[in-house]
Amino acid sequence: MQQLIGWFIFLLSCIGHTELWVMVVNRSHAFSLNATHLRIFRTLHELLIVLFPWLLLWNCGLGRRGLLTGGLLSEQTAFWQTILWITMSATIPWFVGILRWQWKRRFEFSKVATREIFDVALIAQQDATLRNIRGSRWHPLIFWPWNEILTLEVNVKQIQTSNPQASLRRPVRIAHFSDLHFIDCPGVDFYRFMVIKVLEMQADAIVFTGDLIDKPELMATAVEILRPLTKTAPCFFILGNHDWRYDYEHFRTTLAASGWKCVAGTHERIQLADRNVLFAGSELPWIGAAPPSVNHGGVDLQILLSHSPDHFRFAQNNGYDVMLSGHTHGGQVVLPIIGPVYAPSIYGVSFAAGLFRLHKLTLHVSRGIGAKEPLRWNCRPELTCLEIYC
């Protein structure tokens, strides 16, 4: 019996230790730390997650009075007793996170009115115009079984604002995509396919919420692919933390010259479907400042584009109806029962993706289109048409 308890303590301690490092990595990526510091955090977390069970085994697992050979927790050294208690305590947030995923977030994550799924690699085999779907960048993750990086989920999601007359009028339709991450994997024709799907939506406006480029040489190609959208509807954008690592002002001016309107740190009023709509943008905590407070009088719908979902309190405090975000990629890997594990947010995986009602504010977090690491598992790239009743 004592041996069984020892195994249980050992297992809890390893899970808790992993959870602690996942929390550190998720939170560190929510701030404007440079790439070197983030890499140090990631490498440390990878090393220690692998090493910790062996250290535990060596110091208080096997041997005389070890946890796995019938020894008691109180018989271990004071140092290892402290480590064991700290790591075991960290299983509490892990367990609460699983309960929240099963109870609430799972439904918010996948809440859609209609869903279409496209296996773009398969479609390209029968369409000669889509030749470069995979791209030329070689990455071992592309061969991961059931990798969904070359699929596209096109969703329609409905949002109801607090206006009691909202359901009587036709909704304002906004096409929202995020995190394109042009890096030559997926290839350029994957993005062309996405643009075709955006055009088919015939939306009133189109918004992109940051992380445009991970390979600056592809900037001209990215603009050439996104330019046709400006001929069909007003297009608004902000940049993200990956753009911030490069010459982001060059990205901004180049995309803006093609007809896309940048709303970072500012706002823009426009008439859409007989409604006065205000678009504002925030690239915090990486670039610039928050948009100035405005008198929202005469505006029917206020939309904030914010790359990170972490700034929903700013949107709430400044009277926005809807906030559109990306950045978290839905966690990229969504495990059965557990849900997503990694999301670069101070709230961990709480806002990894989906539709969230936060008092009067509706937050939509897109799973994004691309990713620097080309792995998506149970978490397809996502293009969304938001039907906003306001």
**Closer of 108 and 179 to Fe ion (Cβ):** 179
**CB of 137 within 8 A of CB of 185?**
yes
- Residue choice 19, 108, 148, 179 for contact with Fe ion (CB under 5 A): 179
Q: Does 243 bind Fe ion (CB under 5 A)?
A: no
Q: How far apart are CA 165 and CA 236, in angstroms?
A: 27
Q: Give φ, ψ of 348 to 5 degrees.
A: 60, -130
**Closer of 66 and 330 to Fe ion (Cβ):** 330
Both tokens of 281, joined, read: 């943008």
For the CA atoms of 197, 198, 203, 205, the dihedral, rounded to the nearest 10 degrees, stands at 180
Bridge partners for 386 per DSSP: 157, 174
Within 220-239, the residues that bind Fe ion by CB under 5 A are none
**CB of 113 within 8 A of CB of 157?**
yes
Both tokens of 169, joined, read: 């009028």
* 219-226 helix and 188-201 helix, angle to the nearest 10 degrees: 20
Piece of 13-21, 86-94, 114-122, 171-179 that binds Fe ion (CB under 5 A): 171-179
How many amino acids of this chain bind Fe ion (CB under 5 A)? 2
Piece of 131-139, 175-183, 192-200, 355-363 that binds Fe ion (CB under 5 A): 175-183
**Closer of 179 and 321 to Fe ion (Cβ):** 179
**Closer of 28 and 158 to Fe ion (Cβ):** 28
Q: How far apart are CA 129 and CA 193, in angstroms?
A: 10
Piece of 208-216, 252-260, 275-283, 344-352 that binds Fe ion (CB under 5 A): 208-216
Output the CA–CA distances (angstroms, integers) from residue 232 to 58, 111, 198, 273, 312, in the order listed: 65, 28, 10, 14, 30
**Closer of 157 and 242 to Fe ion (Cβ):** 242
Q: Name the residue among 312, 63, 307 with its Cα closest to residue 209.
A: 307
**Closer of 365 and 386 to Fe ion (Cβ):** 365
Smallest gap from residue 264 Cβ to Fe ion (A): 16
- In the three-class reduction of DSSP (H, G, I as helix; E, B as strand; rest coil), residue 62 is classed as coil
Smallest gap from residue 227 Cβ to Fe ion (A): 22
Place of tokens 């230790």: 17
Piece of 38-46, 62-70, 73-81, 207-215 that binds Fe ion (CB under 5 A): 207-215
Instruction: Quote the strand ranges of 32-83, DSSP E.
Output: none
**Closer of 211 and 300 to Fe ion (Cβ):** 211
Piece of 21-29, 70-78, 87-95, 177-185 that binds Fe ion (CB under 5 A): 177-185
Smallest gap from residue 332 Cβ to Fe ion (A): 10
- Residue choice 19, 148, 211, 321 for contact with Fe ion (CB under 5 A): 211
Place of tokens 């939506």: 201
User: What angle (nearest 5°) sits at the alpha carbon of residue 308, between those of residues 107 and 29?
Assistant: 105
Instruction: Tell me whether residue 340 is exposed, middle or buried, using C-beta atoms within 10 angstroms of its C-beta: 0 to 12, 13 to 18, 19 or more.
Output: buried
Smallest gap from residue 180 Cβ to Fe ion (A): 9
* 35-60 helix and 78-89 helix, angle to the nearest 10 degrees: 120
Smallest gap from residue 179 Cβ to Fe ion (A): 4
Interface pattern 120-159 for Fe ion (x via CB under 5 A): ----------------------------------------
Within 5-34, the residues that bind Fe ion by CB under 5 A are none
**Closer of 26 and 161 to Fe ion (Cβ):** 26
Smallest gap from residue 242 Cβ to Fe ion (A): 6
User: Which residue ranges make up the site for Fe ion (CB under 5 A)?
Assistant: 179, 211
